[in-house]
Amino acid sequence: MSKWPDDDVILYDGVCIFCSRWVRFVAQRDTAKRFRFTPIQSVYGAGLARTFGIDPEDPDTNAVVHGGKAFLKSDAALTVLSHLPGWSWVRALFAVPKPLRDLVYSLIARNRYRIFGKYDACFVPDADLRTRVIE
């Protein structure tokens, strides 16, 4: 896995409604404010994406840098959730074979705009969340 100098950074598709809801979901439950966020459409986010082999023009995954390593697809989602208060139980889902987890993840990711919709521009977070966004 590739290294990145910043830790606990979640890379997401800023125009994807589902992805933006994911960011808000995490931010509301992350009482320690451990995670920060970067849209793939930002300069910082695009650089992070390219480092981990994600095409910023056609992202098919979110990612999280945790412990100096990048986690993609279902590993990213489970890693984030497992570090939120009250969500440590999701660690048990790592027992599900990765190809199966990633198959489900990819199915949703490929169809996210059709299912959930898309913003015309990156969503603008409220003032509290804005302090945790890296652009």
Helix (H, G, I), strand (E, B) or coil at 134: coil
Q: Is the separation of the CB atoms in 77 and 104 below 8 Å? A: no
Mean pLDDT score, 105-134: 80
pLDDT at position 1, please? 46
Mean pLDDT score, 60-89: 92
Q: How far is 48 from 40, CA to CA, in rounded Å?
A: 8
21-55 pLDDT tens trace: 899 999 999 999 999 999 998 999 999 889 888 88
Per-residue pLDDT band for 3 (boundaries 50, 70, 90) equals: low
